[in-house]
Chain A
Amino acid sequence: MQIHVSDSDGTPFYQQVVTQIKFLVASGRLEEGEQLPPVRKLAEQLLINPNTVARAYRELEAEGVVASRRGAGVFVSNAGSPLSRKEKTRILGERIDALLAESQQLGFDLESVVKLLRQHNSKFESKGGAR
């Protein structure tokens, strides 16, 4: 699992960790039953306070994204949690906003953007990448 935190915006670090782990779960890069790194290890890797990582894990647990098994560690829960659809939509929404802003700037209308999306998607499908 590789995540990154940035101090260039004011989003609290625990929130950044929570969002990114949710993203990894939603995108399938973290699978159900997979173990998250221990708090101490992730803290050293990200160079952030261990309490911050612990807080992020607690938050994820409260939302049902992960479950901690006593003595064993923290594991990804079943990906079909009630939150995951909403979260997926939210993550996608942010990217769509960015895409639309960029498109407008570059003078693409909605139709052309949709057309481009289709073209790109067909590349995915031919590679077997799309679900």
Chain B
Amino acid sequence: MSDLVVDVQNLSRSFREKVALDNFSIQIPRGCVYGLVGENGAGKTTLLKHLLGLYAAQTGSVSVFGLNPATEPVSVLSRIGYLSEDREMPMWMKVGEIIRYRGAFFETWDAGYAEELRKTFDLNPEQKVKSLSRGQLARVGLILALAHRPDLLLLDEPSSGLDPVVRRDILAAIIRTVADEGRTVVFSSHLLDEVQRVSDHVAMIHGGKQVLTASVEDILQSHVRMTVRFESPRESAPPLKSALSCHGEGVEWTVLCNGQREAVRQEISQLNGEVVEEASPTLDEIFVAKIGGTGSRSGSA
């Protein structure tokens, strides 16, 4: 399909004994904001590095704009904007210099746009990169990733460790990028509220495996959070096979389930419990329920 910007099929990757990606498949259509969520070391960066052609697929296939980024890096990379997690930059350069320097690599570099962003972000072109704050460094990185107006923007943990003002800039940049017709954004994050805000689709990764891949809307609609009251206090979490997670104490417990609302309700009534409240959970709660696995089944609130 020509409208898939990214097509990853059955990608697996190991570093020595450690499995970083396990049979991973992802299809990203044009004009989409795709959020990759998972804990540190879950495999998000490894996936992004495959899209950049920094790693070649060991098993499975990776296609970006219909090309293999590992064998055709020039054609692929000229259309990608990338903000890495560690934002490595030549520290001895000045802000203005690094922007001009980067511009020389891209045919499509828009110097006017770079300048506009620099002013918006209130960056001094004469300032040395090494004297920039964390937030300023992220803003410079963002200019370098955006000013050639890439068809695909890849952001690796763009807002980790940054203050709310810089995070706003980054989210606004993501939104502006997709609002520009036909551009696509893939970003990894462990800030689920951000992902819920700006993404169309989400892939949850845990230990290199895909735990859940769907549109944000489908995920939010299919999951339900129930508050359950039992006739008498319970020593341990109710054994609900159809639920994703269950925690609480005494007579009131919170149960999260995916789809199987009726099955869960039935199990609850068999245990002499009653659903007193039903609400939609946030992406964050769903993620914790999915990843938490056995850990979140017991324990008190």
Q: Which of A20-28, A47-55, A63-71, A103-111 has 4 or more CB atoms under 8 Å from chain B?
A: A47-55
Residues of A81-130 contacting chain B, CB below 8 A: none
Q: Which A1-28 residues have C-beta < 8 A from chain B?
A: 5, 7-13
Q: Which of A7, A40, A48, A49 has most chain B Cβ within 10 Å?
A: A49
> CB < 8 Å: which of B176, B178, B217, B279 contacts A9?
B279
- Our pick among A10, A11, A13 for the contact of B197 (Cβ within 8 Å) is A13
A10, A13, A47, A50: which contacts B179 (Cβ < 8 A)? A50
Write the nearest CB–CB distance from A46 to chain B, whole angstroms: 8
Q: Given the complex of chains A and B, what is the CA–CA distance between A5 and B196 in angstroms?
A: 12
- Residues of chain A having any CB pair with chain B under 8 Å: 5, 7-13, 39-40, 43-44, 47-51
Chain B interface size range = 20 to 34
- Across the interface, B198 reaches (CB within 8 A) one of A10, A40, A48, namely A48
Taking A43-B175, A44-B172, A47-B171 as contacts, is the C-beta distance between A12 and B198 under 8 angstroms?
Answer: no
B14 within 8 A of A: no
Interface residue B200 (Cβ < 8 Å from any Cβ of A): yes
B172 near A47 (CB under 8 angstroms)?
yes
Q: Is B134 an interface residue (CB 8 A)?
A: no
Residues of A within 8 A of B200 (CB): 49, 51
Q: Which 9 A-B pairs have the closest CB atoms?
A: A10-B280, A40-B179, A7-B193, A50-B179, A47-B171, A49-B198, A43-B175, A10-B281, A48-B197
Contact between chains at A10 and B279 (CB < 8 Å): yes
Q: How many A-B residue pairs have CB under 8 A?
A: 55
A9-B193 contact, Cβ under 8 Å, with A47-B171, A51-B200: no
Residues of A within 8 A of B221 (CB): 12
Interface positions of B from 61 to 103, Cβ below 8 Å from A:
none
Residues of B29-66 contacting chain A, CB below 8 A: 33
| Chain A residues, Cβ within 8 Å of B280 | 9-12
What are 19 inter-chain pairs, A to B, with CB distance below 8 A? A5-B197, A7-B197, A9-B280, A9-B282, A10-B223, A10-B280, A12-B220, A13-B197, A40-B176, A44-B179, A47-B168, A47-B172, A47-B175, A47-B197, A47-B198, A48-B197, A49-B175, A49-B198, A49-B199
- Structural contact, A10 and B33, CB atoms closer than 8 A: no
Interface centre among A9, A47, A48, by most B CB within 10 Å? A47
Contact A10 B282 (CB under 8 A): yes
Q: Is the CB of A44 within 8 A of B197?
A: no
With A and B bound together, what is the CA distance between A9 and B220 in angstroms? 11
> Is the Cβ of B225 less than 8 Å from the Cβ of A44?
no
Name the CB-closest residue of A to B198.
A49
Given contacts A7-B197, A13-B197, A49-B198, contact A43 B179 (CB under 8 A): yes
- Which of A7, A44, A48 has a CB less than 8 Å from the CB of B176? A44
Give the chain A neighbours of B176 by CB distance below 8 A: 40, 44
Partner of B175, one of A7, A11, A50: A50
Report the separation of the CA atoms of residues A76 and B198 in the bound assembly, to the nearest whole angstrom: 26
> Contact: A49 with B282, CB < 8 Å?
no
Given known A10-B281, A11-B280, A12-B220, contact A49–B197 (CB-CB < 8 A): yes
Q: A47-B197, A49-B198, A50-B178 are in contact. Are A12 and B217 (CB under 8 A)?
A: yes
By a CB distance below 8 angstroms, the chain A residues around B179 are 39-40, 43-44, 50
